[in-house]
Structure 1
Amino acid sequence: MEGVYDSDLVNRYSVNETSLSAIGCTSQSEAHRRGHRAILSNAKDGTVSFGVGLDGYIPLPAEIIGVADPFRAGKQNGGRVSAVNNLNIMPDRAVDNDDGTFKTGRNPTDRGKQGVKRTDDRCRGASSVTGRSSKHA
């Protein structure tokens, strides 16, 4: 028997004991991983509806994905490119990132921790991002 807990969830919900049967589990570390995965998949209690792009990526049930939700993040995390002129990019809204970078695209083969899709920086050749100057443009 292997005990697994998440201190943030214990503070939020108190202790909620659950037991799992892991058929074919041969090590303590595997039992710990399976318990941690059960905690993670049940801790994320939000649901989202979304459409897929041209890549057609559809996540599997209980797969953890990153979602750019402006209401949860408190800022706009996405947009579209409205014009490109040589090495200049004009987005459809203001670029207001904390680190001052402009990122675009997603590489479906590049997986981060726990299967979360990472943003791929494909604007290495861009010299500037011009146009929108205010948050409400």
Structure 2
Amino acid sequence: MYNNLLLVIDLNNPATAKTVVDNALQLTANNPEAVYRVVTIVEPVDDSFISAFLPKNFDKSLINEVKNALHRFTEKHFPITAKVQHIVAHGTIYEEIIRISEEKAVDLIIMLASSKSSVKFSNNTRRVVKYGTKPMLILK
């Protein structure tokens, strides 16, 4: 039985994010001790040309906006009694997923194979499978 789950969601695609949550809730339906660590990752803006046009603290303000959006999303899709931890990471997607899964000692990572229907597995999913050490449920 899984007690400590890491749900990787993309807030830019609420339908697929809901799929991840629905699967996690089904998997833990008989487990009142389940803890859902819901993570979304903001990739840094590395292009110096683009970053020159952005406000000085753009990344910080963006992360705050994403935190608020993540809270709104979980309030809508989780039961009120669910134990949910909100995590907004900033960095390379697969590296952050692996880091958080180790830090939080999760039992299972749940994520989509790809957010694009034309791709079987995204590069990030492949890398989490290859370099991560935690069990995974990959959804299509």
Shorter-chain TM-score tier = under 0.3
Tell which has more relative contact order, 1 or 2 (C-alpha 8 A, sep 6+): 2
Larger Rg: 1 or 2?
Answer: 1
TM-score by length of 1: 0.21
Greater share of strand residues, 1 or 2? 2
Counting helix residues as a fraction of each chain, which structure ranks higher? 2
